[in-house]
Amino acid sequence: MQKKRRATQSSQKARMRVVTCLIFTLLLSATSLYALDVKVPDIMHPMKNPKMYSKTMRCPDCGMMVNMWARTRHSFSNHEGTFETCSIRCLADISAKAGEQPENAMVALYTEPEKMVPANEVFYVVGSSAKGTMTMKSKIAFADQVSAEKFVAQYGGTVQGFSATLKMASMEVDKMRAKIQNNRLKKGKISKPTHSSSCALCGMPPANYPANRSQLTTADGKHLHFCSSKCLVNYIDGHKSSMTPKATSWVTVYPDGDYEYAKGLYFVVGSSVMGPMGPEAVPFRKKSAAEALVAKQGGKVIRWSELSPAAILSSSGSLCPRNRSKANTLPNLFF
Ligand SMILES: [Zn+2]
Ligand SMILES: [Zn+2]
């Protein structure tokens, strides 16, 4: 009896597998057919030689040039200030990192990137064949429903409002991290140190410190590797005159171990967590995670623009007023 029941169950499972396979194959072929049919809008994005749509040079979250991605740029504010990002993805990421809802969100119109309008008044087209910014699913804004629907009729996608689009962007952020890191490696924005790489400041091998290493991409695309955030900060401090705004800094997120654009992170200085070179600036994506470390191990949470060799060495993490004026914080050039 039991044998018979088992045989029935296994044949049911086999049938389920065949049905699942068939559904999957049908879906795949439908997707491929759609991919063959779909038209791509004849709008340059990213734009070559972009105009100065924005005074913000780099997206404060991902480091991309905001003017090159002007058609999807957003601006908003929270308790830390006002930000202009390359996309709704980076607005969502900054908001999640800070643990705050964005206020006064504005978005550029896809077809008129010089115009910024309140985000809760626009019609987003999501998932069309228009190229996405920091996402596989593009999210572009139109001033009125008729234009948005006209675009959908030609290039696919669906029309929705700001809050639904922000929710979608927020849900994609963590899922897309590995892909973004791979793209950065492929495009040469970052590189992995080899076993023969040595820290440009102290000479130790960064490959041996996967939880602490950092890197600087110079204006001419060279990668300088460092064993720690501390060595990166000290190197920049000692080479201010030879740095240009095109240089970008990347640090290893604690404790995840991925490289991230340094300016978008929170740093704990003055804690009891040590790096390969002793006192360290410990980088976190989320402000709440940085604050949790401070509660356990002491120190203080600061942003990239406040980092300096003196701030890292400070045992309390906060400089006394007498030393604050002497401390050289990182110049704004180094985004
Ligand atoms: Zn961005
Ligand atoms: Zn070093």
- Average pLDDT value over all residues in the chain: 85
- pLDDT (tens digit per residue) in 170-226: 999 999 999 999 999 999 999 999 999 999 999 999 999 999 999 999 988 899 999
Task: Compute, in angstroms, the gap from residue 233 CA to the centroid of ligand 2.
Answer: 10
- Give the pLDDT score at 16: 53
| Residue range 5-29: mean pLDDT, rounded | 47
Confidence class for position 81, pLDDT limits 50, 70, 90: very high
CB 108, CB 146: distance < 8 Å: no
Q: How far is CA 144 from CA 24, 141, 156, 237, 265, in A?
A: 37, 9, 17, 49, 36
Of 38-52, 173-187, 247-261, which gets the smallest average pLDDT? 38-52
Share of the chain above pLDDT 70, in %: 81
Of 18-22, 62-66, 228-232, 284-288, which gets the smallest average pLDDT? 18-22
Task: Compute, in angstroms, the gap from residue 134 CA to the centroid of ligand 1.
Answer: 7
Collapsing DSSP to helix, strand or coil, 279 comes out as: strand
- pLDDT (tens digit per residue) in 256-299: 889 999 999 999 999 999 999 999 999 999 999 999 999 999 99
One DSSP character per residue, 149-217 reads HHHHHHH--EEE-HHHHHHHHHHHHHHHHHHHHHHHHHTTSS----TT---TTT---GGG-TTT-EEEE
Ligand nearest to the CA of 197: 2
Task: Compute, in angstroms, the gap from residue 206 CA to the centroid of ligand 2.
Answer: 7
Collapsing DSSP to helix, strand or coil, 43 comes out as: coil
Share of the chain above pLDDT 90, in %: 70
Task: Compute, in angstroms, the gap from residue 72 CA to the centroid of ligand 2.
Answer: 38
- Give the pLDDT score at 319: 39
To the question of pTM greater than 0.75 for the whole model, the response is yes
Task: Compute, in angstroms, the gap from residue 3 CA to the centroid of ligand 1.
Answer: 60
Task: Compute, in angstroms, the gap from residue 179 CA to the centroid of ligand 1.
Answer: 14
Task: Compute, in angstroms, the gap from residue 264 CA to the centroid of ligand 1.
Answer: 10
